[in-house]
Structure 1
Amino acid sequence: MAVQFLKHVALAIPEADCDKAEEFYTNFGLELRRRGDLMAFACKGSRYDAVILVPGANRKQLHHVAMGTDEGGLAWIKQRLALEEIPLLDAPECIDAHEISENRIWFRDPHGVLFQVAVCPPEKAPAPEPQFLINSPGHFNRVDVGALPPKSDIADVCPRKLGHALLFTPSISGSIRFLTDVLGMRLSDRSEDAVAFLHCQGGSDHHVLALGSSHDIGFHHASFMVGSPDDVGVGGQRMVDKGYGPSWGFGRHAIGSNFFHYIRDPWGSYAEYYADIDYIANSDTWEAQNWPIEDSLHTWGPNPPEDFVHNYEAG
């Protein structure tokens, strides 16, 4: 079945950015977990780190993407890498000292993105949330009770899990081929050669990795599940109130259907709150669509910042 879930994304950042990076991700609702010289941020109660920062770079850039699988999946991926004549690599020294117990491999895709695939149990499932009830014509699902307490009584928003990441690529079709042929992912949907969305077989969110077109590789955003659309709105607004921006949201995507609010990080990329994303249980019955460009971003909500799809890692 090849890769089964997204384990973490890692970014290289300048040493001077560590303080503002910690402030951003902790304000976003993640927990800081020190890993020697590394800065790791995780969802509360999660088994794995979600975002790992590697200080010491001249500028922020994608360091690597880590995926989880089982023994059979790793063996299958090794076979596919051999067929593609893609060599296995040594673990980066900065990472190796902190993950020595894992059965894992490292390699680069044809465009230069560094991947780690590790044999590890899936991330713990988030605790069930109260059902999100709405009243609509003919359906009174919430009776004799209000939807929300006063906003001053609403707790801080804490992401439940890392859902997906969007990576820039110089070839949408080439990256789709690599992720499907070598990592065993499946195409969920795409919009021409502008953007594509892929999921893991065996049941996963509509997208676990997404691809955006650019003239070079890079990191655009990491996306985190929260408990409800209200959490998306509250979390996004509180980050805006703390001075982070420009943001994009509150809105709802067309592809994947999720509610969203993107918050710009210190380097021009984003962290996203999301809720209510499509779930693909059977890859063989899901039919991928090629969406018109004009429908590819969102169904409703404000327009994104003008530079929303700019790859700042590529200049």
Structure 2
Amino acid sequence: MTSHHGTHNDLHSEQGAVSGEHPGRAKNPVIKVADLAWLEFSKPDLAASERFAHAFGFSTVSRTPDELQLRGSDAGAPCVIVRSGARSRYLGAAFRAADAADVVRLADTTGAKVEKLPESIGGLTVDLTDPSGVRVRVVADTHELAALPAQSTRAFNFGNDVRRTNDTQRPPREPARIQRLGHVVLQTTKYIETLDWYLEHLGLIVSDFKYYPGQRERGPTMSFIRCDQGTTPTDHHTLAMMLGPRHRYVHSAYQVTDLDALAAGGEYLREQGFHHSWGIGRHIEGSQIFDYWRDADGLLVEHFADGDRFDSTLEPGWSPMTASGLAQWGPPATKDFLGLTPGPEALRELRSMARALRDDNEFDLTRLRGLLKVASS
């Protein structure tokens, strides 16, 4: 490891990199994005999407027959844009550049064009495509939405540290108010190629690498990736990426204020008849308290609270990937969360395994054995 970066040991990974392993950052990236701005989806029923969004804790910025913009309570751009389409699918992510000059620099380097965004969003974008074929927007100078009133936090008694007397805890059973977009998780058959593309073009850096048990010498198969803002701490991961038999959206995550908001909001979602996937628990990589739900079209979304923040001094951690290693505490990862529940989605994944093994990509027979071992761990 280079000497000017801190070690990841004693945090939550078994060890750091060994000589010759992926460094987890590019030496000279084109730009360094500041954050994830928003995610874009296509949905066949915007009214149903909005009903779930409100139950999940979003507020509507605007809705037309063709587009729904959703936001959290923090100031900034909308964090989800849903466009009318024939089927439910993930369209891509927008990352926020430090300034318009970075958008121009990225466009000049890639040969892409700088274009104006619609007036409802404002600002500029350069639209790129990552090696997996996913659209990636890098934007600047978008309209700034004013902050909304935040969900109130509660006073806690921690053991004998008493901060609440003559009062009770009664968190209301209401939607957990989303504060902001946290991260998106993607699967690709071109994991290393796609990872390197994000590090080199957007200046992202890896917080943690995961590898299939017994296959570390073949390199990582998953990475948790954060924005590099120097000494300013950023989310443990803004993007997570994993090797798999097809390119697909896995889930996206949205911050709420605390455990009570998350848990009471989950009870509200349950009462509204929405499908709970997995939780409540606390992750290892990122440390977030989590709870996973399926939206109206079956896409996986996460409430989270109390996530880690790292600055740029930490090198990546390395640890084996196991299903049991997804959480420090909480119920075991469900078949629904792991994509193993019998149904159309699991069938698509099985069919894609056969296709991936025939194609020229990183998902070969050895990797398939590793993935199956993870799923059964």
Q: How does the TM-score come out when normalised to structure 1?
A: 0.83
State whether residues 2 and 77 of structure 1, in contact with CA within 8 Å, keep that contact through their aligned partners in structure 2: no
State whether residues 77 and 121 of structure 2, in contact with CA within 8 Å, keep that contact through their aligned partners in structure 1: no
Counterpart AA for 1:28: F
Q: Check if 1:88 corresponds to 2:112.
A: yes
Other-structure match for 2:261: 231
State whether residues 11 and 62 of structure 1, in contact with CA within 8 Å, keep that contact through their aligned partners in structure 2: yes
2-structure distance, mates of 1:238, 1:154: 6
CA shift for structure 1 position 279: 0.5
Other-structure match for 2:225: 198
Structure 1 residues 24-39: aligned runs within 5 Å: 24-36=52-64, 37-39=66-68
1-structure distance, mates of 2:102, 2:154: 34
Q: Check if 1:62 corresponds to 2:90.
A: yes
Q: Check if 1:189 corresponds to 2:208.
A: yes
Structure 1 residues 44-193: aligned runs within 5 Å: 44=73, 46-57=75-86, 59-69=87-97, 70-78=99-107, 82=109, 86-88=110-112, 96-98=117-119, 101-120=122-141, 130=153, 133-136=156-159, 139-144=160-165, 148-149=169-170, 151=171, 153=172, 156-192=175-211, 193=220
- What are the ranges of 5 or more consecutive residues in structure 1 without an aligned counterpart? none
State whether residues 207 and 226 of structure 2, in contact with CA within 8 Å, keep that contact through their aligned partners in structure 1: yes
CA shift for structure 1 position 198: 0.8
Count of residue correspondences? 298
Other-structure match for 2:375: none
Counterpart AA for 1:200: C
- What are the ranges of 5 or more consecutive residues in structure 2 without an aligned counterpart? 1-30, 212-219, 350-377
> For 1:216, what is the secondary structure of its paired residue?
coil
Other-structure match for 1:259: 289
Counterpart AA for 2:248: G
1-structure distance, mates of 2:208, 2:73: 31
State whether residues 268 and 312 of structure 1, in contact with CA within 8 Å, keep that contact through their aligned partners in structure 2: no
- Call closer, same or farther: CA 1:124–1:189 in 2, change over 3 Å: farther
Q: Check if 1:300 corresponds to 2:329.
A: yes
Other-structure match for 1:5: 35
Counterpart AA for 1:135: F
1-structure distance, mates of 2:61, 2:76: 12
Flag the structure with larger Rg: 2
- Call closer, same or farther: CA 1:201–1:154 in 2, change over 3 Å: same
CA shift for structure 1 position 7: 0.8
State whether residues 174 and 265 of structure 2, in contact with CA within 8 Å, keep that contact through their aligned partners in structure 1: no
Q: 1:216 aligns with which of 238, 246, 252?
A: 246
State whether residues 172 and 196 of structure 1, in contact with CA within 8 Å, keep that contact through their aligned partners in structure 2: no
